[in-house]
Structure 1
Amino acid sequence: MEAFLTSTLTVALAEIGDKTQLLSLVLVARYRQKWPIIIGIITATLINHFVSAWFGQWSVSWLPADYAGIVIAISFIAIGLWVLVPDKLADEETRCSCYGALCATFVLFSLAEIGDKTQIATVVLGAQYASVVWVTLGTTLGMLIANVPVVLLGGKLMRRVPLDTMRYVAAAVFVLLGLATLWWNL
């Protein structure tokens, strides 16, 4: 139980103000479909954090640090560029757009978590505690505590802030994170 509680608290606190919260806001503004986004967050987080916790128990040195940093930097820049692409979905909710929101959330959350502080925390927690399952469940709950309110309440914020402004700010944050990561790894 200690692994679960510590993992939940650690990730919930680490996630406050993190790039995935901004990504949650951008996704809800883009797709306006809360439940597919929440399901995408849950799925991506469960898979990512399970692998991270397992990896923490197994080993921490399978990829040279130089390559890992470059992959992370390119991922940040790619997300930043994706954010700049205007929404092309019709305003009506369709079955296809529901899957689009789910798939986009899954892929983007998976990419955004690569090398993120919550992923690193999950690796460390996985190394610290003997239970990959409890660490995974705790860190996933922590992500949900931090991100679900953003998804559920993000629409109210978006009515007050223009989507284009949010898109440019989000893109700038992701590209700057990518460039900073690249700078530190070269």
Structure 2
Amino acid sequence: MEAFLISAGIVALAEIGDKTQLLAFLLAAQFRRPVPIVLGIFTATVLNHAFAGAAGAFVTTLLGPDALRWVLGLSFIAMAGWILVPDEIDEDARPAARYGVFATTVIAFFLAEMGDKTQIATVALAARFDSLAAVVMGTTLGMMLANVPAVYLGRSAATRVPLKLVHGIAALIFAALGVATLLGAGDGLIG
């Protein structure tokens, strides 16, 4: 349960103001069909985060517990710094609905999530916790918590959220996870 809740919370906070949330705004403004957009975001997230989670779980087979602890601890601390860098998306980069709203959303969101903060966080979380399923379900829930309101409420809701505060909280959580990992907290969960 800890893996699920931490994964959901961290990714929900990290996703606010992220480039994939900005993409959700663009898709909602362009297509004005929230249901296929939300379903597309969900599908793309499950696929992307399952892949990222599998990569994170695989990393645990390559590294010994001590090396893994240092890699994960430093990775979480690096994520704390990276989360403070605001993302932008080119307003002219609107996806064409060549394949319909759902398929366009799946493709655009999956590609935008590649190498994104939340995907990298999913890799690290899956390496940190034993339950791959809990991490993927948690990170997917976190993505949905941040993106469904973006699709339905649009940019007006986002302007009411103090991004610096949200990113600061997410950065503190990542930093705390990094320090705790470096200090050996949860060693039974690693590897």
Change (3 A) 1:104 1:122: same
* Structure 2, gaps ≥5 residues long: 63-88, 157-191
What does residue range 15-164 of structure 1 map to in structure 2 within 5 Å? Answer: 15-59=15-59, 80=90, 83=93, 100-154=100-154, 157=156
Judging by fraction of residues, say which structure has more helix.
1
For residue 59 of structure 1, report the CA deviation from its aligned partner. Answer: 2.8
In 2, distance between residues paired with 1:20 and 1:120?
Answer: 13
Q: Which residue of 2 aligns with 1:162?
A: none
In 1, distance between residues paired with 2:109 and 2:58?
Answer: 24
Query: Aligned residues, how many?
Result: 132
Fraction of identical pairs, as percent: 51
Equivalent residues of 2:26, 2:94 under 8 A apart: no
In 2, distance between residues paired with 1:52 and 1:110?
Answer: 12
Change (3 A) 1:25 1:138: same
Q: Please report the TM-score for the alignment, with normalisation by the length of structure 2.
A: 0.62
Task: Summarize deviations over 1:65-107 as a string: whole Å, max 9, x none.
Answer: xxxxxxxxxxxxxx8486257x7x7xxxxxxx8x611011100
Change (3 A) 1:109 1:84: closer
For residue 34 of structure 1, report the CA deviation from its aligned partner. Answer: 0.2
For residue 113 of structure 1, report the CA deviation from its aligned partner. Answer: 0.6
In 2, distance between residues paired with 1:132 and 1:47?
Answer: 13
Change (3 A) 1:84 1:120: closer
Q: Please report the TM-score for the alignment, with normalisation by the length of structure 1.
A: 0.64
* Structure 1, gaps ≥5 residues long: 62-78, 90-96, 158-186
